[in-house]
Structure 1
Amino acid sequence: MKTFFVKNKLPTIFLMFLFGNLASGTLTFMISWTVLRQTHQAAQFALLSTTSSLVMLISMPLIGIIVDKYNHKYLLLVAQGFSIFVLLIFILQPFHSLIVYIIFSIGLDLGDLLFSITMYASVKAISTDKTEMSKINGIEQGIGALFAIISPAVAGFILTFISVKKFSWVELICEGIVIFLVVQLSFKNAHTKNEENSGGKESKAVGPSYKKVLQVLRNKYLVLIIVSIMIVLNFLLGAINVGIPFVLNKNYQGNTMILGIVQLCFPLGIILSSFLVQKLPQIKLFKLLKISYFSCACVLFSFGIVLSFLMKQMIFAVGALALLMLLIGLGLGFSRIPMMTFAQNNIPENIQGRAFSIIDTSAQILSPLGLMFYGFLFDRLSGNWIYLCSAFLMFIVLLVGFYFVDRADKGNYIY
């Protein structure tokens, strides 16, 4: 059986991500909606998400150190084992209070965070070449976007029949399947070599400090610029996450069907890009990133045009907004896979855990700040001008960022 999974590595990884996301996304929504249904208070609902997010931000630096210190295969098994432990405790304990759901959510999120950071840092170790790395990143992105679409609907449907505790048994089975699939994977990395050289004993060296990691990233000039552009764009794209629901609700009397159609197109674009990027002819990395990012800026500008001239014609407006959401999903999806592959190839493997924790922490901080910023703007300003100005700012960020990219020495990088 081991030989079968070794020969079918990509299907194994596909199944690993599939079962990893199958129940966890649904369970997350079920927890949130159960709290809202039991308390009928938006403040309690918000407290659940806020507390979990804060714990994730605080934990990321420590998890980065752990990922760089220990064997990645063992860490993936530990992450799944920890999630199973949390699920069992939740199932067996008799209480149903808000604090129980908060602790339960934090436990599951910590397990998922350790698993995801370890996987980011392991892609190079489980791949034979850059093409396979790109395929693994595409599988991860596509499945994540797919379950972002279906999890809320599935959660709402299942919650009418069974409780969170009963559904936790399904999650428990899925976590067990992921453990089985992880065991089948072969990891060739620095941790494995260290273990062999030390007679199988785990190295106790923590490795470079975060200050040293930042110095390494600063020397990897192009990686730092590309990642910084992506993080800033995440902030500016808060205009879509906040603005589209707000504008549609305001103009079409809270029609949830229209909102659902438009919102659905964004993850659909990401899913399509995850598969199409593998079929594209070989395009130079920075040319592809330029096309993707500048396309997103043009789409953001187009949102302002649609809001200015088409909102009174509902059919045309909804069709145009849905198309733009699909296009921006495609743009972001086409850029993320090669960008992640480039970072994984050029950041030293022994610091990838901390490097990706820094990247994730920056994105996690800027994304909610973007939501708050645009929430403030849309309450006070016209939506079309917000999109036009945001597009203008995005063009400036891209022009400045790629000005330095074009003039950087590209000889010491793996593409």
Structure 2
Amino acid sequence: MKQQKLFSKDFTLIVIGQIISLFGNAILRFALPLYLLNKTGSPSLFATVSACAFIPMIVLSPIGGIVADRVNKRNVMVILDFATSLLMLLFTFLFGSVNMIVLFIVTLMLLYGIAGAYQPSVQASIPSLMDDENLISANAIINQINSLSSLIGPVAGGALYGFFGLKPILIISIICFLFSAVMEIFIKIPFEKREDTDGIFNIVKKDLSESGGFIKNDKPIIGKVIIIVCAFNLFLSSLIIVGLPVIITQALDFSETVSSQLYGIAQGITALGGLAGGILTTTKFKGFEMEKCHVLLSWAAILLIPIALSMMLGLSDIFIYAVILVSVFLIMTFATIFTIKAMTFLQIVTPNYLIGKMISLVMCLSMCSQPLGQVIYGFLFQNFMTNSYIVIFIGAVMSLLIGLASKKVFSVIND
């Protein structure tokens, strides 16, 4: 039976577990790719490794949704956090004794794969604990925790990496994931076991067909929104993922130690924008309708232009960095508001028995363009490093066109 109280014991434990787990995850997402970029100095290699690492997350997201709908969601969280802690312990022992690029690719692929299987369980557990009245607030809190962890993680990671190197970060992440797993053991999530006699592949095929059929026959508007998000991720999200570290650590003239710390601050500011977006969703934007979401996407695209202009005009490195901070903060604010609104819409229109696999399928399809976008931007930055503003202008124009074109879809989303 759903809880009427927002901060019930179980939801509170989920929140605390998320804080601890995501803190370690944020540090790793910051440190491992940055270490690789600093050691190789190649935006193209950095982007390619990041893209390869992202693929398992996309592939395993639907499986994570299927698991979330069939087994106790708490058990999924506990097992995957224990697995992540063990993975990083193994990485720490192998670090420096095997091929660096191979080790990083395999580790990042496993980390992203675990994340892809993990997050649907977290998202799918919320409707089981909340009534409709508290659903938006609960989703906003989960997103704010994500943003807060991403805010603290990169800043701490930047300081640790800049002064002490990678090893302390690995040790902290092992402890964080272990604590999170222990915490999650005490969560109780309502669960009714489903009896399945089919093999895993038949279950995957059946459930994906069921989710796809729901989109095609009952809610085709969801498919159109997925296409929009997919295109937006191709041009804007991929640009931020690749461009932010490349510009700060390679294009701007800062030392390796300083650039690592500045990149950590930039990641923290980006996460702060996500936190602001979560707060605004429950206050100023609480009544913001899905029909107007094209405005959020359009403004996120427009905010890339100041970065490109400051670089094109040859302004000082510290001024360009300040412009980057302001822009990514606002971009993330608008993006988070959009994400919360879209996730809540999906949860409301989807039957409870389909929520887990629908969330995972939507996440999978929405993210499938990001590896391609990362590879493209890695190639572009590799060849236009001295004129990086050209790459940013291209991303801004394409993203803005997508944002404006999405008005036609969002205007009829509730029809």
Q: TM-score range by the shorter chain?
A: 0.7 to 0.9
Deviations 1:102-151 (A, max 9, x none): 65555554444322221122221222332333333323432343245225
Deviation at 1:281, TM superposition (A): 5.2
Alpha-carbon spacing, 1:263–1:403, altered in 2? closer, same or farther (3 Å) = same
Which residue in the other structure is 2:225 paired with? 226
Map 1:77-96 to 2 at 5 A: 77-84=78-85, 86=87, 96=97
| Structure whose alpha-carbon radius of gyration is higher | 1
Is 1:398 aligned to 2:403, yes or no?
Answer: yes
| Unaligned ranges ≥5, structure 1 | 196-201
Q: What is the TM-score when the length of structure 1 is the normalising length?
A: 0.75
Is 1:274 aligned to 2:278, yes or no?
Answer: yes
Tell me the SS of whatever aligns to 1:265: helix
Deviations 1:56-90 (A, max 9, x none): 44444433433333232232233234335546766
Q: 1:178 aligns with which of 177, 180, 185?
A: 180
Greater displacement, 146-155 / 25-34: 25-34
Q: CA RMSD in A?
A: 4.2
Q: 2:304 aligns with which of 263, 286, 300?
A: 300
| Unaligned ranges ≥5, structure 2 | none
One-letter amino acid of the structure 2 residue matched with residue 277 of structure 1 = T
Q: What is the TM-score when the length of structure 2 is the normalising length?
A: 0.75
Which residue in the other structure is 1:367 paired with? 370
In the alignment, is the contact (CA less than 8 A) between 1:139 and 1:274 conserved in 2?
yes
In the alignment, is the contact (CA less than 8 A) between 2:60 and 2:117 conserved in 1?
no
Deviations 1:197-220 (A, max 9, x none): xxxxx5446383423322212332
Q: 2:189 aligns with which of 177, 187, 201?
A: 187
Deviation at 1:326, TM superposition (A): 2.0
Which residue in the other structure is 1:23 paired with? 24
Q: 1:322 aligns with which of 316, 321, 325?
A: 325
Tell me the SS of whatever aligns to 1:137: helix
Alpha-carbon spacing, 1:395–1:364, altered in 2? closer, same or farther (3 Å) = closer
Which residue in the other structure is 2:208 paired with? 210
One-letter amino acid of the structure 1 residue matched with residue 22 of structure 2 = N
Tell me the SS of whatever aligns to 1:253: coil
Map 1:8-157 to 2 at 5 A: 8-27=9-28, 52-84=53-85, 86=87, 96-98=97-99, 106-128=109-131, 129-150=134-155, 152-156=157-161
In the alignment, is the contact (CA less than 8 A) between 2:243 and 2:377 conserved in 1?
yes
Alpha-carbon spacing, 1:163–1:213, altered in 2? closer, same or farther (3 Å) = same
Alpha-carbon spacing, 1:211–1:158, altered in 2? closer, same or farther (3 Å) = farther
Deviation at 1:161, TM superposition (A): 9.2
Deviations 1:309-368 (A, max 9, x none): x43366654443432222212211222222222222223333344333333333443223
Which residue in the other structure is 2:234 paired with? 235
Alpha-carbon spacing, 1:253–1:293, altered in 2? closer, same or farther (3 Å) = same
Aligned residues, how many? Answer: 393
In the alignment, is the contact (CA less than 8 A) between 2:228 and 2:402 conserved in 1?
yes
Deviation at 1:36, TM superposition (A): 8.7
In the alignment, is the contact (CA less than 8 A) between 1:13 and 1:136 conserved in 2?
no
In the alignment, is the contact (CA less than 8 A) between 1:304 and 1:387 conserved in 2?
yes
Distance 1:374 1:97 in 2: 29
Which residue in the other structure is 1:332 paired with? 335
Distance 2:148 2:376 in 1: 30
